[in-house]
Structure 1
Amino acid sequence: MGPKRNALHLVRRHLAAMPGYKPMDSIDVVARDLGVAEEDIVKLDGNENQYGPSPKVAEALGGFGFYHLYPDPEQRRVREAVAAYVGADASQIVMGNGSDELLSIAAMLFLSPGDTMANAPPTFGVYTFLGHVYDANIVQVERNEDFGLDLPALERALDDGAKMLYIASPNNPSGNCFPRDQLERLLAHNAMIVVDEAYAEFSGESFVDMVTEHDNLIVARTFSKWAGLAGLRAGYAVFPAALAEIVWNVKVPFNLTVAAEQAILASLEDREWLNENIALIVAERERLFSRLMGLPWLRPYPSQANFILCEVRGPAAKDVCDRLAEQGIMVRYFDSPGLRNCIRISVGKPDHSDRVLDALKGMGAGVGK
């Protein structure tokens, strides 16, 4: 026998050395680690919709009889339904395995090794992750203290050769949107602008209508948040029609399962039910925000999404997160530039908020001391 081979030296060097993206754990893992039942967990760390999907989704999935067959490779029926929902043409719509796949496809289209992309942290960590995957140089343009964009600095980065910029609106984890006139200014540059609208239904604002007018704008969206389909991975993007044609040639086929397709169609047929839940979440967001304002050691930031970012004043945010976890309450904490000592609380049902508030009141300012 010859010597044992080691294929690691064949891996692309930048991938072998890059850091991974760390998402939150699933509820079964959390329950196992804490030694409690899944139903006793208040999971407010992933911005999931605690009201769940439309009841019509379970009906559609249970009544579907063709799971043994491949889905429509052109996604025709679901693209037409989504196009009608967002007010675009079906030729502009490409579906994917969550909006993350569409964000990745955008990077694949525009970033070659050594190219430069701009980013506006603090924001969704997947953008930097994708820049690393495609071996791009990343210009990090920190947001202002209020989490607004540093527009002059971003424009300089684009003028200096950045080919691409991801922007979340509402931004994750700060929850703020950015105005249309700022997007117009960014689109005036010779760069691809990808707007991530994962939380758009909670803000009531969208830039989809601008895609037809600008050939350098892509808008990515998802059914994970507003429609409660996070576990089925159902996302899409609205492309300029010419770009969409290229995407069909380069993306992997069958990237939307028949289960996700059926769930999307059922969701869009039950928008009234889902919109009622959106209204409940928005109302609960405002109630939770006002109650958090009453805790002197927390500084909550106004949000247009389904979560609230809080600066923790005094205690260590990680200690707060750990203490909540001991009580079966999962939130996310941050301790990075622009997000020093912060926690993010997803907005759930009123009883979820009450458990969080009671736990936080019980901690007071003595956490970590």
Structure 2
Amino acid sequence: MKRVDNFNPGPAALPLPVLERIQAELPNYKDTGMSVMELSHRSPEYEAIHQDAEDRLRRLLGVPANYRVLFLQGGASLQFAMLPMNFLTRDERAHYVLTGSWSEKAADEARRYGEVSVDDWAKAEGYRDIPETIDFGGEDGLRYVHITSNNTIYGTQWRTLPKLSVPLVADMSSDILSRPIDVADFAMIYAGAQKNIGPSGVTVVVIREDFLASANADVPTMLSYGTHVKASSLYNTPPTFAVYVMACVLEWLEENGGVAGAEARNREKADLLYGVIDKYPDLYLGHAYKRARSDMNVTFRLRDDSVTKAFLQEAAGREFVGVKGYRTVGGVRVSLYNAVPVEAAHRFAEFMEDFARRNG
């Protein structure tokens, strides 16, 4: 069976043991005579899958009892709008820290519903850095502060997540469960699953009960967090197969050292690539400043466009998939999410070394 080194930024690599398990269970899940894709979302078999996914996520994240966990649809992009619809009015303000394209999109959606202030310090730097502190301009009329914990396009990451006196909301789509965090520091966390914890189609929301209690009442039914909390994410048909795959991934993660194990592997993978970038600074030009480097997305250019093109062509020839930089940035981006094996990072680092010796 052919398998390539998959560095796609999302949808991203899934663990091979999980894929093999899904393959085995696909036509007949636990002797039901049906595939998971055929199960009713009201059936006891699916409800058990759903509960298992929530229980495992709670354990891995360390979710306190006063938080609710939701499995929704629409990706993080829907959360960009759903969040302010529920928690912002024309007389209130939300503060957005801009650290990349996705935080810009989130702020743009919030402007439809209320006042938005922004910290665009990182934008002025070309999104190469992360601010050390957040100045949200006082608490008067402030409903929440929003950050994006990891920035896939630019390869930057909050190495130390902020602690604030006001509700803090984080889009963790690209680094959830890649390292330990303190959920209690956040009023809400949301994340599309398709990078680190599952396939596309399911979005995780973790929300504190007192923050939820302050939500706006005049929100369309399907876009109200309260609707989904009351129905335990089963108000309408959920993305049942995606939740099942996510549950399998979470089980795999628990069996392989949990979040601490993932963090160690992710740091090892990132250090391999950054080590080559730092060894050949005249050839590999890293985008992110060292203090803001992401363990999830390693971004760099080569010394000129023709060399970058040659590098990408050779990478494709060696069956490294998904390493071309985002269309608005260019260069190279290597995504090292939880399911990317350490061995794949070793192979890519060896390729970088070989290319440098021949082109340095």
TM bucket, shorter chain: 0.5 to 0.7
- Residue 201 of structure 1: SS of its match in structure 2? coil
1:230 matched to 2:195: no
Check 1:147–1:335 CA distance in 2 against 1; reply closer, same or farther (3 A cut).
Answer: farther
Maintained 8 Å contact 2:96/2:107 = no
Q: Percentage identity across aligned positions?
A: 10
Maintained 8 Å contact 1:167/1:195 = yes
Maintained 8 Å contact 1:196/1:219 = yes
Maintained 8 Å contact 2:277/2:284 = yes
Check 1:126–1:324 CA distance in 2 against 1; reply closer, same or farther (3 A cut).
Answer: farther
* Aligned residue type for 1:354: R
Match of 1:343 in 2: 332
* Aligned residue type for 2:267: V
Match of 2:222 in 1: none
* Aligned residue type for 1:128: E
Offset, 1:96: 1.9
Match of 2:244 in 1: 262
Out of 302, 325, 335, which is 1:333 matched to?
A: 325
Match of 1:49 in 2: 13
1:289 matched to 2:267: no
Out of 96, 108, 118, which is 1:119 matched to?
A: 96
TM-score (norm 1): 0.64
Offset, 1:195: 1.4
Within 5 Å, which residues of 2 pair with 1:67-86? 67-71=38-42, 76=51, 78-86=53-61
Within 5 Å, which residues of 2 pair with 1:134-283? 135-136=111-112, 139=118, 141-143=120-122, 147-149=129-131, 151=133, 154-156=135-137, 163-172=143-152, 173-180=154-161, 182-184=162-164, 187-188=165-166, 192-198=167-173, 199-202=175-178, 204-211=179-186, 217-221=187-191, 223-227=193-197, 229-231=198-200, 233-244=201-212, 247-249=225-227, 253-254=235-236, 256-270=238-252, 271-273=254-256, 275=258, 279-283=264-268
Match of 1:7 in 2: none
Q: Deviations over 1:239-293 (max 9, x none)?
A: 1114446513279933632212322333333321475676544322222221232
Match of 2:218 in 1: none
Check 1:226–1:250 CA distance in 2 against 1; reply closer, same or farther (3 A cut).
Answer: closer
- The number of equivalent residue pairs is 310
Check 1:282–1:97 CA distance in 2 against 1; reply closer, same or farther (3 A cut).
Answer: farther
Maintained 8 Å contact 2:75/2:202 = yes
* Aligned residue type for 2:157: N
Q: Deviations over 1:196-254 (max 9, x none)?
A: 2331433x23131334xxxxx21224543344x234x3331221114446513279933
Match of 2:82 in 1: 105
Match of 1:310 in 2: 300
Which structure 2 segments of 5+ residues have no match?
216-224
Out of 85, 89, 98, which is 2:65 matched to?
A: 89
**CA RMSD of the aligned region, Å?**
4.4
* Aligned residue type for 2:227: N
